[in-house]
Chains A and B, each alone.
Chain A
Amino acid sequence: MSSTATLKTEFIKGIWKENPVMASLLGLCPTLAVTNAANNGLAMGLATTFVLLSSSLMISALRNFIPHQVRIAGYIVIIATFVTVADRFLAAYFPVISASLGPYIPLIVVNCLILGRQEAFSSRNGIGRSLLDSLGMGIGFIIVLVVLGIIREILGSGSIFGIAILGDWFTPWMVMILPPGAFLTLGILIALANWYNDPSRSKEGRAVS
C-alpha cells in the first residue's frame, strides 16, 4: 500500500488534505489549550514536531523488532523519552515559554496525533517515508496552531507574537484568550475549511449530486 503514493504526496497530505487538526481532529488538547498567543502556539507546534519526527525515526527503524502485542507500550516509551528531551530543553533554554506552556509539554506524550501516526504509518513504512509523513503532519500542526494563536492574540490582546499592533482604540475581546475563544475560533476555521472543500459548491460537484 505504501508504494502506491509518491514521496511528495506523503509529505503534502499532512498540510491540508489530511491535516491532523483540521481533517482528523487529532491533538485537540494542545491546540485548544495553548493557542492564546502566537508564541505559545509556535513553541508547542515545534516541540510536537520534534517529538513526532524523532519517534517516527526510531519506530520505523525498530518496526520489525518490536513485538506486535506490546507495540503500543513500546511506542509510548519511545515517545515519552523524546518528550522528556523536549521538556528539559525548553526548561533550560526558554524558561519563559516553558513556564507559560506549563503541563502541556509533558502532555505531548498522550497527544493522539503522535501515537496515531506511529500506529498508522511509521510502524508500516520505511524510515524515509515515515520522516516525510511526520514532517508534513508536523508542519500542518504548526500552521494550524500558529494561525489559531495569531487570530486569538490579535483579537484577545491586540498584538502578534507579543508585539502590540492595534492602538489604544482597540478594546481586547477577552473571550478570545479564554477557553471559549479557542473552541469558537477552531470551530469557525474548520467550518470554513469544510465549506471550501465542499464538492457541492463547485459546478462539477452539483452535477454529480
Chain B
Amino acid sequence: MTEENLPQAQPEQPETPKKPVKPKKDPRAKLYKPETPLILASSPHFHTRDTVPRIMWNVVAALVPATVLALVYFQWAAVGIILTSVSSALIAEMLVNRVKGESFTIPDGSALITGLLLAMTLPPSFSLGGTALGSVFAIVVGKHFFGGLGYNIFNPALLGRAFLQASFPVPMTTWTWPLTARYADVDGITAATPLGLFKFEGVTSELSGLLTGNISGSLGETSAIAILIGGIYLLIRKYADWRISLSFLLSTFLVSGAFWLISPESYSSPVFQLFSGGLMLGAFFMATDMVTSPVTARGAWIFGAGAGFILVIIRLFGGLPEGVMYSILLMNAFTPLINRYTRPKFFGEIRA
C-alpha cells in the first residue's frame, strides 16, 4: 500500500551522484509516475461502486428530511445557520487545500456534510459569527490538522460543536421554541429543551412532540421521526453500520431503563431518553462516521454500547442535560484501541 512496501517500483537513484536524476531516461518511469502512486491491496479484490463522493452525497440526501423540518420549524433562523455553517465549511476546505497545495476536495462532499451536521447541532438562536467559527474549526483543526479526510480521530462536526460549547457556554444552551425563533433578536421565547426541563424542573415532555419535533431544541435534533427516516435509509444502503446505531440506542435504553426501574420518580423513562435530545442524530449520523468508528463488527457493538453508557451517565449525573456529543467524542478516542483488540484472527493464527 505504502511506497516503502514496493521498493522495486521506486525509480532507483543512480550510483553516481554527479548526474541529476532524469526520470524520463529510466525505462520504469513509464510504468510508475510518482504523482499517481500505484495502489496495491491484498485480496479479496471486491469491485464496488461506492466511492467517497457517492457515500457522502447519500449522507447529504439522508439529512434532507431533518433539514426540511428544521427549516419549517425555525424558518429564517435555520436558513441563516445552515447557510453560514455550510458555506464557511466549504470556504475553509478550499483555503486549506490551497495552503497544503493539494487538489480541491470540495466535490467529495465531506466538507458539506461537516457543515450541515454542525448546523444541525446548534440552537436556532445561535449567532452566525459563532456558527462560522465552529465550522472553520471543525474543518481546519478537526479534519485537516489530523491529515484530512480519513485521518481524523474525532468527528469534525462534533469537535466544532465541542469548541463552541466550551467557548460560548451560554448561547450554546439557550433554545427557543419553534416558529418563534425568527423573532429571536426581538422577543424570542426562550425555553429549555425537554431534557433540560426534566433535569432541572422535573417536567416530562409529551412523546408526540419529541417524535414530530415541535419542541425546543437544536436545529436538527428535535424531530425523532425525520432523523429516523434518513437514518434508516443510510442503514439500508449500508452507508452506516447498523450495529453502531442499534447498540447505541439499545445501550441507552437499557442503562436508563435500569435506573428508571430502581427509582421511577427521580429518573425519566427510557422511552423519553431514547427520543429526546440529539440521540437520534448522534446514533445515525455521527457515531456511524466511517472514519472515526471501529471497523470490526464486534468493535461496532462495543463502540455503540460504550457511547450509550456514557450518554446516560452524563444525562443523569453530569452537569449538562445532554451528553451525546461528549459520549461520541469519548468513544472516538477509544476507536483505535477497540480496533486493536477486536482484530479478527488471521487464517490459522493461534493466539497466545
Are B168 and A191 neighbours in the complex by a CB distance under 8 Å? no
B296: chain A residues at CB < 8 Å are: none
The residue in B133, B141, B167, B169 that gathers the most chain A C-beta atoms within 10 A of its C-beta is B167
Minimum CB–CB distance from A188 to chain B (whole Å) comes to 7
B130: chain A residues at CB < 8 Å are: 171
Provide the main secondary structure of the chain A interface.
Answer: helix
Given the known interface contacts A184-B141, A188-B141, A188-B145, the answer about A171 and B166 at a Cβ–Cβ threshold of 8 Å is no
How far is B141's CA from A64's CA once the two chains are assembled, in angstroms?
50
How far is B166's CA from A180's CA once the two chains are assembled, in angstroms?
9
Are A175 and B127 neighbours in the complex by a CB distance under 8 Å? no
Are A191 and B127 neighbours in the complex by a CB distance under 8 Å? no
How far is B171's CA from A34's CA once the two chains are assembled, in angstroms?
27
Contact with A along B149-167 (1 / 0, CB 8 A): 0000000000000010011
How far is B133's CA from A174's CA once the two chains are assembled, in angstroms?
13
Contact with B along A121-138 (1 / 0, CB 8 A): 000000000000000000
Minimum CB–CB distance from B340 to chain A (whole Å) comes to 25
Contact of A175 among B129, B145, B163, B171 (CB under 8 A): B163
B127: chain A residues at CB < 8 Å are: 171
A189: chain B residues at CB < 8 Å are: none
A176 at the interface (CB under 8 A from B): yes
How far is B145's CA from A191's CA once the two chains are assembled, in angstroms?
8
Q: How many A-B residue pairs have CB under 8 A?
A: 22
Interface residues on B, range: 10 to 19
Contact residues of A between 161 and 207, Cβ < 8 Å to B? 171, 173-176, 178, 180, 184, 188, 191
How far is B133's CA from A176's CA once the two chains are assembled, in angstroms?
13
Are A175 and B167 neighbours in the complex by a CB distance under 8 Å? yes
- The residue on B at minimum CB distance from A156 is B167
A176: chain B residues at CB < 8 Å are: 167
Contact with A along B129-145 (1 / 0, CB 8 A): 11001000000010001
- The residue on A at minimum CB distance from B171 is A171
Minimum CB–CB distance from B241 to chain A (whole Å) comes to 30
Q: Which residues of B contact A (CB under 8 A)?
A: 127, 129-130, 133, 141, 145, 163, 166-169, 171
Q: Which residues of A contact B (CB under 8 A)?
A: 171, 173-176, 178, 180, 184, 188, 191
* 12 further A-B pairs in the complex, CB-CB below 8 A; given A171-B171, A175-B167: A171-B168, A173-B133, A173-B168, A174-B167, A175-B163, A176-B167, A178-B166, A180-B166, A184-B141, A188-B141, A188-B145, A191-B145
Top 6 closest pairs, chain A to chain B, by CB: A175-B166, A173-B167, A175-B167, A174-B167, A180-B166, A191-B145
